[in-house]
Structures are given as structure tokens and as C-alpha cells.
Amino acid sequence: MIAKLFHFLVYAFVALVAFTQYAAYRIRKTFPPEGKFVDVGADRLHYVEYGEGPPIVFVHGLCGQLRNFAYLDLQRLAKSHRVILVDRPGSGRSTRGPRSSANVYAQARTIAMFIATLGLDKPVVVGHSLGGAISLALALDHPQAVSRIALIAPLTHTETEPPGPFRGLALRSSLVRRFVSLTLGLPVAMLQNRKAVELVFAPEAVPHDFGVKGGGLLGLQPHAFYSASSDLVAAPEDLPDMESRYASLTVPVDVLYGRGDEILNWQRHGEALKKRLDAVNLTVVDGGHMLPVTQPAQTTDWLLDVAGKPVAAEPKREAESAES
């Protein structure tokens, strides 16, 4: 009996690994690299760029990749700017090196190195969701690297627990994370993907072509699952320290939030950031978490407005008494 059970488990393991690798192969065939690759530290980053002019760098969120910005009017943006979309380490077609950390400060350092490697002159950095936290960390630790940051539905403060659709990624053991990514991760994600994506987009609808145009299917790859889980587990490490430093920000900050966001509450993450740094320009619209996808025209208008602003000498900080 024990021998039969052992053989069954072995066969099941082999079948899951084989299915996962085959599905990952099909995804890679569907999404060949679109742009260029550059080595940044231990990571290899994939990016695409359009147009010429003052640079704008886009940093996507958890479980995302550069195609999350594909619904924006990139041609319009590229008429006046050099638009650069990058897959974060371990996401999309980028790879994360074995010595590369997933915490927010480390990813901000990688983006700073990416900016330097491409020779960009103080770009506007656009960060969505977790990419917003990374952009804030970039502005805190590398203010000389950017002209301003534009945050869309950003993670700015510590959450007590992961948002519902992402709780299955909360695997603290790297060994368990690796095992799940190679076996159960993809089959379970395929079964639950539609519902999870609907929750991320709520209260707005998911575009019928998001899996391909928005790159949603890329998140099913084993390395993407592993990296997203690593990102989720590591994200809370730096946020308390970041929160204590927000009042010292010298880089102009603009924030766009959806009033109906069911992943990150606009008051907890948008309004709370403005309370710590009064100079934050907060815009709240009707919508959910995925504004670059669901409201591309309005988001493009907002981005062009932000990118066209003159750079202020230094944002006005809240009174010291309010911080004590």
C-alpha cells in the first residue's frame, strides 16, 4: 500500500512538472521578446522603448509585466517623450539573478542602475501598485536619478495582510515557493485565474484581450510565480522605514487613484501619503486598481500633464510638529 502511494506521488509529481514546463513553453512561444535586454547587476532586464525626447520609465506592479501598460496611448506619449517600459526582475521576460533581493529598496536600486545603464537624464518614473512603492523608494534613495515620480494606485503603507487575490502567493519558505512554482502553481492558477483577475480589476470589467494584449498569461510562468511570491513576501520589509521618510522627499510626487480600488484603498495609500507630504498632487477618479488598462485615455492625459510640469525646487513638507 505504501509502495503504491509512493509510486502514485512520484507519477503525480512528474506529471505536474511536465505539464507546467509544457505550458510555460507554449506561453514563451506566444510571447517572444519584444524589445531589448540589458544586464543590470545580477539581473537581466527586458525592455521596450518608443519615441524620442525627455524619458519616461514605467514600472509595473505585482504579478505584472510591461504589457500592463499596453492599453495606454503609447504613440501619443512617444510623440513628445522617450517612453520606456521595463519588465521588473523575474517578471515578464526579465530574469532575477540568484543573488538579487526582492525587497523594495533592492528593486529601487535595480531601477536606478537600469536608468544609469541606459544613460537616461532624470526621467519621470511611473509606478503602478507595487511599482509605486518601488518608485517611492527610488525617489527616497536615489533622488538624483529622477525628475519626478508619477504613481498609479501605489502601495505606500504597510498592509496587515495581502489583498485577497494574492494570498496564495504568501509562501515564506523559498523551498516551498520553488516546489509550488514547478508543480501546483500553474495548474491552480489556471483554474483560479479568471476569478482572481476579476477581483484585481473590480469594480471595472476585465478586457476580453487582457490575457494577450495585457500580458496576463505571462504571469502563469513558473519563474513569474516564484518572483511574484518573493516580491509579496519581501514587500513589507521596507515599508515602515519608507513611511518614516516620506516627509523628507525632495522629488515631486503625483498620484492617480481609483475611488473604487478594491486592492489598495485610495485613502490608506493615496490620502495618507499626502498627509505625510502635503506637496503630493493627488487625483482621485471613478475606477478601480487597473487604471492603465481600464481608463487608458484618462491615464494618458494625466501622464502627459504630469510629465509636462516644471520640476519644483523642493516639495513643501508637513510641519515638524505633525510628525512628532
- For the segment 32-87, what is each residue's pLDDT rounded down to a tens digit? 888 999 999 999 999 999 999 999 999 999 999 999 999 999 999 999 999 999 99
What is the pTM for the complete model shown? 0.90
- Looking at domain 35-162+235-308, which CATH architecture does it have? 3-Layer(aba) Sandwich (3.40)
pLDDT digits (tens, 9 = 90+) for 105-164: 999 999 999 999 999 999 999 999 999 999 999 999 999 999 999 999 999 999 999 999
Whether 320 has a pLDDT exceeding 50, the answer reads no
**Residue 313 in 3-state DSSP?**
coil
Give pLDDT tens digits for 185-224: 777 777 777 899 999 999 999 999 999 999 998 888 888 8
pLDDT-above-70 percentage for the chain: 93
Structure confidence at residue 321 (pLDDT): 36
Torsion angle of alpha carbons 251, 74, 54, 64, nearest 10°?
Answer: 40
Cell 519608507 sits at which residue? 242
Could you give the CA distance from residue 197 to residue 202 in angstroms, rounded to a whole number? 9
pLDDT for 315 equals 46
Query: What is the chain's length?
Result: 324
- Asked if the model's pLDDT at residue 283 lies above 50, the reply is yes
Cell of 244: 518614516
Cβ(302)–Cβ(256) under 8 Å? yes
CB burial string 89-121: b at 16+ within 10 A, e below: bbbbbbbbeeebbbbbbbbbbbbbbbbeebebe
pLDDT exceeding 90 applies to what percent of the chain?
73
pLDDT class of 324 with cuts at 50, 70, 90: very low
Task: State how far the Cα of 280 lies from the Cα of 77, in Å rounded to an integer.
Answer: 23
Provide the residue ranges of all domains of the chain, joining segments of one domain with +: 35-162+235-308
Integer distance in angstroms from the first to the last C-alpha of the chain?
66
